[in-house]
C-alpha cells in the first residue's frame, strides 16, 4: 500500500479546487448559456442554485473524500456500504466521458491561440466560419486533443503536490489578474454597456419559469463547480482534518462565479461592438471560437495580442480543470488496483483519447456528449445529497465538527443537504431530462 499524498497547504487545496472549477465552462459556457435568452433570470437562478443546493453538496463531496481518505470510486462504499457502489461507477464514467470531449475543445483553444500569434484571425463572418471549420475538423483536431491530453497526463503523473498543486498555485492568481485586465479593457469598447444589458443583465421575468433557462442554470452550476463527479472527493481525500470545509467551499464557489461574470464582461462587449450578436446564441461554440476571434481581429495587431492573452488563459484554465477530471479515474485505479500513479495516468489517458475520437470527428456527437454528461452531473449531485443527508448525516456533521466549523453553519448545511438539496436537485434533474429529450425530438 502506498502512503497517501497530502496537499502542502490549505491554500494549495483551495487553489486546486478553484482551478478545477474555473475552466472552459466559465469562459465559454457561462456566456453561451446566458445568451440563450435567459439573461438576468439565468444569472439569478444560477446564483440561487449555487447558494441553496450546490454549496451543501460541495461540502458533502469534500466531507466524503476527507472522512474516508479514499478515491471517488471507493469512497461511497467505504462510507455507506456496498449498495453505494454504483455511485463510484457514475463518478468514473462521468469524469472519463467529460474529459473525452473537453480535451477536444482544449485542442481548438490551443489552435486559436496559435492562430492569434502566428497566422492571423478571421475579420468577417465568412472568414470566421471558415476558420472554425478549419480548427474543428481534420488532423489538427487530433493534434490539439493529443497535446492537451499529454499535458494533462504529465501534470497528473507528477503527483498531487509536485504536479497539480505546483501548477494551480501560480496559474490561478495569474489567470485572475489577466481576466481582470481584459475585463477593464472591454469596458472601453463602444458597445460595452449595450453588451452587458442585452445579454447578462437583460431582464425578462418569464424566463424564470422557462424550461431551458432552468436547465441552463442547473447545468452551468454543476458543470462549472465540477460537482457531482467525484473531483472534490478525490481532492479532499488528500486533506488534513483541520481545514474548515464550508469556508473553503464558499471560497471556491465565489471565485468560480466571479470568473464566470468577468468572462461575460469580456465576451459581451466584444460581441456587441463588432455586431456579432446573432453568432453567439446560435451555436454552442459560436461565442468562443467564432465571435471572439473575429471581434479581436477587428482591432488589428493589438487585437491579435489580446486574443493570444485570452485564448492562452483559456487554455490554462482548461488544463487546471482537465487535470482534476483525470485525477478521478487515476486515484481510483491507484486505490482499487494498486497501480502506480504513472501507469494509472497513461492507461486512463489513452482510454480517454479513444473515447474522445468520435467527438473529435463530429461536432454533433460532441454536443450530445456535453448534453448527456451534464445530466449525469446533476444525477451525481442528487445521489450525494441523498447519501450525505439521509444515509450518513452524522458523518457529515461529525467531520465538520472535528474541524471546528461554526455550529450555526453546520446546522444550516445539515438542514439544507437533507431537506432542500434533494428535492430541488430532483426537480432540476427532471426538467433537464425532459428538456434534453424534447430537444432531440424537436
Ligand atoms: N469546471 C470546469 C469548467 O467549468 O470548465 C471543468 C469541469 C470539470 C466540468 C468537471 C465538468 C466537470 F464535471
The pLDDT tens digits for 107-161 are 999 999 999 999 999 988 888 888 988 899 889 999 999 999 999 999 999 999 9
Considering its fold, how many domains does the chain have in total? Answer: 1
Instruction: Check if 25 has its Cβ closer than 6 Å to any atom of ligand 1.
Output: yes
Is 291 contained in some domain? yes
Is 425 contained in some domain? yes
Is 220 contained in some domain? yes
230 CA to middle of ligand 1, Å? 11
Instruction: Check if 280 has its Cβ closer than 6 Å to any atom of ligand 1.
Output: no
Residue-level pLDDT at 102: 96
Q: Tell the residue number behind the cell numbers 463530429, with chain if given.
A: 362
DSSP per-residue letters across 250-304: HHHHHHHHHHHHHHHHHHHHHHHHTT-HHHHHHSTTIIIIIIHHHHHHTTHHHHH
Is 30 contained in some domain? yes
Q: Do the beta carbons of residue 373 and residue 98 sit within 8 Å?
A: yes
216 CA to middle of ligand 1, Å? 14
CA atoms within 13 A on the CB side of 113: 15
Residue 137 makes CB contacts below 8 A (sequence gap 6+) with: none
Whether the per-residue pLDDT at 221 is higher than 70: the answer is: yes
Whether the per-residue pLDDT at 170 is higher than 60: the answer is: yes
Is 229 contained in some domain? yes
Q: Is 228 left (phi over 0), alpha (psi -120 to 50) or beta?
A: left
Signed CA dihedral, 432, 437, 440, 441: sign only: negative
Is 299 contained in some domain? yes
Q: How far is CA 206 from CA 41, 153, 194, 203, 353, in A?
A: 8, 45, 21, 9, 42
Residue 95 CA, closest ligand 1 atom number: 13
Whether the per-residue pLDDT at 1 is higher than 60: the answer is: no
Task: Report how far residue 355's alpha carbon sits from residue 360's, in angstroms, rounded to the nearest whole number.
Answer: 10
Q: Which residues of 90-119 are buried (b: 16+ CB within 10 A; e: fewer)?
A: bbbbbbbbbbbbbbbbbbbbbbbbebbeee
Is 1 contained in some domain? no
The pLDDT tens digits for 255-314 are 999 998 898 888 888 888 877 666 665 666 656 788 888 888 988 899 999 999 999 999
Instruction: Check if 226 has its Cβ closer than 6 Å to any atom of ligand 1.
Output: yes
Instruction: Check if 109 has its Cβ closer than 6 Å to any atom of ligand 1.
Output: no
20 CA to middle of ligand 1, Å? 6
Is 424 contained in some domain? yes
For position 166, which CATH number holds? 1.20.1740
Residue 400 domain boundaries: 10-441
What's the whole-model pTM score? Answer: 0.95
Task: Report how far residue 49's alpha carbon sits from residue 215's, in angstroms, rounded to the nearest whole number.
Answer: 11
Amino acid at each position: 500500500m502506498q502512503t497517501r499524498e497530502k496537499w502542502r497547504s490549505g491554500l494549495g487545496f483551495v487553489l486546486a479546487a478553484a482551478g478545477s472549477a474555473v475552466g472552459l465552462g466559465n469562459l465559454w459556457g457561462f456566456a453561451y448559456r446566458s445568451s440563450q435568452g435567459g439573461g438576468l433570470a439565468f444569472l439569478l437562478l444560477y446564483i440561487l442554485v449555487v447558494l441553496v443546493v450546490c454549496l451543501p453538496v460541495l461540502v458533502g463531496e469534500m466531507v466524503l473524500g476527507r472522512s474516508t481518505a479514499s478515491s471517488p470510486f471507493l469512497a461511497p462504499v467505504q462510507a455507506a456500504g456496498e449498495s453505494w457502489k454504483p455511485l463510484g461507477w457514475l463518478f468514473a464514467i462521468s469524469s472519463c466521458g467529460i474529459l473525452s470531449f473537453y480535451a477536444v475543445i482544449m485542442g481548438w483553444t490551443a489552435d486559436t491561440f496559435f492562430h492569434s500569434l502566428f497566422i492571423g484571425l478571421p475579420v468577417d463572418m465568412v472568414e470566421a466560419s471558415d476558420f472554425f471549420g478549419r480548427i474543428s475538423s481534420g488532423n489538427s483536431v487530433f493534434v490539439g486533443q493529443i497535446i492537451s491530453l499529454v499535458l494533462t497526463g504529465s501534470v497528473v503523473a507528477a503527483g498531487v503536490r509536485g504536479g497539480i498543486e505546483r501548477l494551480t498555485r501560480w496559474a490561478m492568481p495569474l489567470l485572475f489578474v489577466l481576466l481582470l485586465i481584459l475585463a477593464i479593457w472591454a469596458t472601453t469598447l463602444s458597445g460595452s454597456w449595450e453588451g452587458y444589458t442585452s445579454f447578462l443583465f437583460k431582464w425578462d421575468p418569464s424566463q424564470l419559469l422557462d424550461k431551458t433557462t432552468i436547465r441552463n442554470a442547473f447545468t452551468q452550476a454543476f458543470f462549472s463547480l465540477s460537482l457531482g463527479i467525484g473531483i472534490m472527493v478525490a481532492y479532499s481525500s488528500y486533506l488534513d482534518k483541520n481545514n474548515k470545509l464550508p469556508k473553503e467551499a464558499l471560497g471556491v464557489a465565489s471565485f468560480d462565479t466571479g470568473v464566470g461574470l468577468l468572462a461575460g464582461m469580456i465576451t459581451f462587449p466584444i460581441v456587441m461592438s463588432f455586431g456579432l450578436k446573432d453568432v453567439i446564441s446560435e451555436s454552442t461554440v459560436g461565442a468562443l471560437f467564432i465571435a471572439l476571434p473575429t471581434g479581436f481581429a477587428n482591432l488589428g495587431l493589438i487585437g491579435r495580442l489580446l486574443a493570444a492573452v485570452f485564448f492562452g488563459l483559456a487554455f490554462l484554465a482548461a488544463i487546471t480543470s482537465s487535470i482534476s477530471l483525470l485525477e478521478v479515474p487515476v486515484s481510483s485505479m491507484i486505490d482499487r488496483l494498486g497501480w502506480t500513479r504513472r501507469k494509472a495516468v497513461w492507461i486512463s489517458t489513452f482510454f480517454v483519447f479513444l473515447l474522445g475520437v468520435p467527438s473529435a470527428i463530429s461536432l454533433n456527437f460532441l454536443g450530445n456528449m456535453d448534453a448527456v454528461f451534464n445530466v449525469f452531473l446533476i444525477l451525481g449531485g442528487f445521489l450525494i445529497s441523498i447519501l450525505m443527508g439521509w444515509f450518513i448525516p452524522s458523518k457529515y456533521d461529525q467531520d465538520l465538527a472535528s474541524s471546528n466549523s461554526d455550529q450555526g453553519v453546520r446546522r444550516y448545511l445539515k438542514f439544507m443537504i437533507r431537506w432542500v438539496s434533494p428535492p430541488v436537485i430532483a426537480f432540476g434533474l427532471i426538467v433537464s431530462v425532459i428538456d434534453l429529450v424534447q430537444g432531440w425530438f424537436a
